[in-house]
Structure 1
Amino acid sequence: MKAFLKKLSYLLPILILIGFYACKPAKQSYSSPKVYDFNHPEKFIMPESLHEISGIAFYKGKSDTIYSIQDEEGRLYRQAWGNKKQQHTVFGKKGDYEDLAILNETVIILRSDGTLFTFPFTEAIQPKAGKIKEWADILPDGEYESIYADQQTNQVYLLCKNCKGDKKKQTMSGFIFTYNPAKKELIASGNFSMDLSELVTSGQILKTGLKASALTKDPHSGDWYILSSVNKLLLVAGPDWKVKSVYRLNSSIFAQPEGIAFDNQMNLYISNEGDELSSGNILKFKRKP
């Protein structure tokens, strides 16, 4: 009996380990677009003022300066990569500012209710921006977090995070404006709709929809890169807005992805809002040769 108990004492830890790993859920696998490695980013931790960073952009793709906003203060921040010291210009009152774009010589900032704010890029170095124009009631009622500006066509694209009818139709609404720099006017230039039904059916996104949190375009392929913080994924769509691929994001790397942009070297940047445990950050993914 003693011999049996002795053998059991040796075997028991092994059996416990076997049982533990047998019950442990399979490790989630995360893929990346073929020219980027989402598992090994270069991370830039934000200062406290950008704990809730919500949008990022570059001026003509130049990566020497990152422009960003956060979703509580009407401030446009600027700083060099890796340098926490930043400066800002005030462009508005407190509000829920979600994304920004720099269209040639014009800064465009999106508030969550669909209101846009435009001002000359030259004002971005001033303590308080001047020549600000506010564009209210140009979009249907809804919640908006994604804007992209095309430098060649002067067209501005906006995605609706939450618009009436999208959930029932399993679609996502988008709207296009053309900016006239001479007259400083935004001209409505059409709309489009993304079909999300297959993603809902396959369980890749929630039944409530994609809930886009940021948008940019690959300037070479014309593919759209759309972030969804709620669904923790990056969706790539073709120029026709048809879904091409979906990449699940690792929440330990992408805490709350809210901003996305390419630089002129085709490196990809994704910003994450901070939370109770981690600071806001920007992740840089170098394009593979």
Structure 2
Amino acid sequence: MSVKTIKYIVIIICSLVTLGAILAFSIEHTFTPSDKKDKKYDCEITQKWRLPKILGEVSGIAWLSENEIACVQDEDGIIFIYHLKADKIIEQIPFAGSGDYEGIAIYNNDAYVMRSDGVIYEILRFRESDKKISKLQTPFSAKNNMETLVLDAKNQHLITAPKDRDLEDDSFKGLYHIPLDTKKMNRQPTIRINMNDVAFKSYLKKKVYRTFSPSDVAIHPKTGQYYVLEGINPKLVILDKNGTILKVYELDKKSFAQPEGITFSPDGTLYISTEGKGGDAAIFKVVLDK
């Protein structure tokens, strides 16, 4: 074999190796909805935003306005405004010192942040220089491990639920309403999520209150249904307006390592955030199979 022939063969091999590498890179980095869909989990991730390190423990999210989502994380008393289109934090709003902040709700120009011991921070005019900050004490304490907070805009109530034990009974997790006018929570829940419901049959634990551990809740803007998230064993439970469980979606741990935030845009688009447990913290746009 001549030297010229050998050189020609080497060139062909190098070209094929290069082409293979380009194709592999392209396949790995190309995003299509079908890449992110697993029929086992009945949900599809249609878009993902990797969050910066400072939001590595993002614990609650709330829709703010077009392309803006308000976030809190469980270490610092700061509201972070994340811009989806710009793909970055555009504003940081301090409201308190260090603490375990878990849920956030927005009502007009005011923000409400849940601390895990049941204290709610009310930050009036939270994006203005003259904001006013006060604390609301609910009947809950650290033993209840509070992580959820959402605004019921129709009734002008905040809604929360315990992650661990309920106030008096381990057999259910209640959704409790806090009217924005009185700020006084009724100790009787508006809705009870029964831990012994047939929908939880495969998840039932010996300590029954651990069967389902809410990490956040959202209300669908069009149907009024409750979407209750769990981060420990990632799942999403959908309840109708009366509290009947309609469906339980299991979430893939590979994508949703520790989902602790959920919110809707006004048109009903669903967003779920997950902490960076073993990877990047992220916000996902999600479509559920019905």
Give the alignment's TM-score, normalised by structure 1. 0.77
Give the residue type in structure 2 aligned to 1:102: I
Residue 49 of structure 2 corresponds to 44
2-structure distance, mates of 1:65, 1:110: 20
1:275-286 pair list within 5 angstroms: 275=277, 277-285=278-286
Q: State the number of aligned residues.
A: 245
Query: Structure 1, residues 118-173: CA drift from partner, whole Å, max 9, x if none?
Result: 012x33255xx73101012443652111111112211111111112577742x112
Task: Identify the match of residue 30 of structure 1 among 23, 32, 40.
Answer: 40
Query: Structure 1, residues 211-235: CA drift from partner, whole Å, max 9, x if none?
Result: 1001001121111100011121100
2-structure distance, mates of 1:240, 1:151: 17
Distance 1:168 1:78, change over 3 A: closer
Residue 243 of structure 1 corresponds to 245
Contact 1:88 1:125 in 2 (8 A): no
Residue 184 of structure 2 corresponds to 187
Task: Identify the match of residue 220 of structure 1 among 219, 222, 230.
Answer: 222
Instruction: Name the SS for the 1:202 alignment partner.
Output: helix
Q: CA RMSD in A?
A: 2.3
Task: Identify the match of residue 60 of structure 2 among 55, 58, 63.
Answer: 55
Residue 174 of structure 1 corresponds to 175
5+ long unaligned stretches in structure 2:
1-37
1:149-164 pair list within 5 angstroms: 149-164=151-166
Task: Identify the match of residue 98 of structure 1 among 95, 98, 102.
Answer: 102
Residue 18 of structure 1 corresponds to none
Query: Structure 1, residues 190-243: CA drift from partner, whole Å, max 9, x if none?
Result: 524221203586213544221100100112111110001112110001111121
Give the deviation of 1:286 after TM superposition. Answer: 5.6
1:192-203 pair list within 5 angstroms: 192=190, 193-199=192-198, 202-203=201-202
1:66-85 pair list within 5 angstroms: 66-82=69-85, 83-85=87-89
Give the alignment's TM-score, normalised by structure 2. 0.77
Give the deviation of 1:112 after TM superposition. Answer: 0.5
Distance 1:105 1:123, change over 3 A: closer
1:141-152 pair list within 5 angstroms: 142-152=144-154
Distance 1:118 1:221, change over 3 A: same
2-structure distance, mates of 1:109, 1:177: 13
